Chains A and B, each alone.
Chain A
Amino acid sequence: MNSIGIIANPASGKDIRRLVSHATVIDNNEKINIVERVILGAQQNGVKKVYMMPDAYNMGYRVMDKLQTSGELRCDIEVFDFYKVDGVEDTYNAVRGMNEKNVGCIVTLGGDGTNRAVAKDINEIPLIAISTGTNNVYPDMIEGTLAGIAASVVASGKFEKDLYAKKDKIIEIFYENASKDIALIDAVISRDLFLGSRAIWLIENIEKIIVARSHPASIGFSSVVGSKIIITEEDDFGAYVTVDKNQPRVLTAMAAGIVLPIGTEEPVILGFNDEYQFTAFGRGTIALDGEREIEFHKDQTFTFKVSRNGPIHVDIKKAIEVGQMNGFFKVNK
């Protein structure tokens, strides 16, 4: 059956970056509106079944209720019935469930952090990422209806994936020879002492930045490296830099509304066969895609590698173009 999965992160868009920067606020009601538009865009083009992650705000049920009340719901919505813990584990569980249901694609509403969680277990399911988070590089700021239409093209299974999607790079982090975690865009080593409110924003605490891609026209750490070198999604390498305030400084968009002079050494390219080893100088944290995730203490050693083991990321515009060029949207009498 022609189905899609939707993971709307209820926690995105309301963290401390509303305090320490000028980050966008997206409340859960707006996420509900976006999910509605995704579903309406998708069902119009043949999607019959939508699986959703459960969450504390019951976004799935609220969407169902609204679309049933308005008489517009024609596909079947199923909110997974597992015991939710209101944490990232819910995302892992939902992605596993969507794998079992063999959905045609997964649509996420969240930021870089949300997509990082989804990417861990998504396997070969194509990913459509809509931004409702903070300082995002990975997901697209795009109208939900269009994301829904693109999802229907992908989920139809009628087109080769490489026409509209490509496998993403990721940064893989290893500790004691075992995989520890991943990042989609950037991993940052900082002297912040604990995970705390998770977001990372104090540049003076940052030691190293490892990126899978970098561009000056992005927000956050990708932009720090991007001020020296542009690394696109297509490039088969990443890079790392050492932050050093004594180096020549460049104005960089560190966070929403925050443009700061930042000095770094020249970037070191990390090819797919290279690795960067970091041995801890003392206490600190590693932030992945903008959120502190790993606390470390002195002498622990972590290895960072860039690879193309990431999710199959859908280019929404391309997917719709593929549909259009192949008559997917034609109405049959």
Chain B
Amino acid sequence: MKLSNENIIEMYTKMIRIRKFENRAMNLFAEGQIGGFVHLYIGEEAVATGVCSSLRPDDYITSTHRGHGHIIAKGGDLKYMMAELFGKETGYCKGKGGSMHIADATKGILGANGIVGAGHNIACGAGLAFQYKGTDQVCACFFGDASTNQSTFHEGLNLASTWKLPVVFVCENNGYGISVSQARHQNITDISQRAVAYNIPGITVDGNDVFAVYEAVNEAVARARKGQGPTLIECKTYRWRGHFEGDPTVYRPVEELEQWKKKDPIPRVEKYILENNVMTQAELDQLNTDIDVLVEEAVDFALDSKMPDVASAVEDVYTDIVEEGRTR
């Protein structure tokens, strides 16, 4: 597998962007500056980064309610994301979607999604369109461990395997479906096993090792492009925060979190970068500072942006019909 130093730096940059964006969002939520449901991706950065680094700009992804990381990794702009968290008119969705629905079709992002398991079939649809049009694009479908108990997971894997659709199913197994641990929501530990039922390859990788994820997805993407059909890749990982901001996480032991923090995906890459002289410590520090600035710029952009005009609430329902708004 060939990865240039530039590739490695790009991956590291994505991970740091995610971590810093999420940390900032966490603080903004705590300060009451942003509201709603905010599901943070801290701790899982290696998955989104490893997956999206294997994709081309014209490839697509479907995301989940915990979507910030996927969107940043696929090239989403922090400014428009942050503005969306603030509900501003300059946000990706003009303030209509919020954290759970950020999308950017021009970057191949078919949206974060508030319905657990909704992405499986949508990803199949995107894969169907690529196959239909004879392009070699692929769609990567992100989903959590709990969504593999939804019918959509089984429908999607069945359809994709039967039609050999160019879809890479990426399971982010973070051990919990909201508050219910995997042991309490399914009778297996390795979700990759479920691939056997659909006669497709299913593998388990260390989801906190960006290189492991990258390598596996790279192979799966290559298969998909060649018309060999879908792959199920289970990435074992852990979310450091609760399911949503404000979740007291009484359902999991503190030691478990501490154990996983030792497997933090970011220092693992830093160690590699320094040991192999990909960057010096000074360059690494500079990069971190640059991203701090980028995140602050995003916050400033969001704060400086206007709230949407209330009349826009009834726009964008259809391409051609705008119903009457409220007269007050």
Contact = CB atoms under 8 A, between A and B. Distances in A.
Contact of B203 (A15, A57, A195): A15
Interface in B206-263: 206, 209, 211-212, 214-216, 219-220, 223, 231, 236, 259
A283 interface: yes
A16 B276 contact: no
Given A27-B193, A196-B214, A18 B1 contact: no
Nearest to B236: A86
A86 B190 CA distance: 12
A192 B216 CA distance: 14
Contacts of A15: 203-205
Interface in A2-49: 10-11, 14-16, 18-20, 25, 27-29
Interface in B258-301: 259, 272, 275-277
B193 A197 contact: no
A111 to B, nearest CB: 14
B203 to A, nearest CB: 5
A297 B204 CA distance: 28
A205 B259 CA distance: 34
Interface size class of A (residues with CB under 8 A): 20 to 34
Interface string B173-186: 00000000001000
A295 interface: yes
B314 interface: no
B204 A27 contact: no
Given A16-B219, A28-B188, A11 B204 contact: yes
A27 B203 contact: no
Contacts of B206: 197
A202 B1 contact: yes
A205 B190 CA distance: 30
A16 B189 contact: no
Interface in B46-85: none
B256 to A, nearest CB: 10
Interface string A75-89: 000000000011000
B192 interface: yes
Contacts of B223: 19
Contact of A193 (B3, B183, B190, B201): B3
A198 interface: yes
B202 interface: yes
B317 interface: no
A264 B192 CA distance: 37
Contacts of B220: 19
Given A27-B196, A196-B211, A19 B203 contact: yes
Interface residues on B, range: 20 to 34
B272 A194 contact: yes
A197 B190 contact: no
B276 A297 contact: yes
Contacts of A295: 272, 275-276
Contacts of A205: 1
B1 A25 contact: no
A56 interface: yes
A27 B190 contact: yes
A18 B201 contact: yes
A28 B190 contact: yes
Contact of B276 (A11, A86, A195, A283): A283
Nearest to B233: A19
Interface string A103-138: 000000000000000000000000000000000000
A29 B216 CA distance: 24
B216 A197 contact: yes
B205 A25 contact: no
A32 B300 CA distance: 56
B209 A19 contact: no
A34 B315 CA distance: 62
B59 to A, nearest CB: 18
Contacts of A10: 189-190
Given A193-B1, A295-B275, 11 more contacts: A14-B190, A16-B215, A16-B219, A20-B219, A25-B202, A57-B189, A57-B190, A193-B211, A193-B276, A195-B212, A197-B216
8 contacts: A15-B204, A16-B203, A16-B215, A18-B202, A19-B219, A19-B231, A195-B211, A205-B1
Q: State the 6 A-B residue pairs at the shortest beta-carbon distance, nearest first.
A: A196-B211, A197-B212, A197-B215, A57-B189, A196-B215, A19-B219
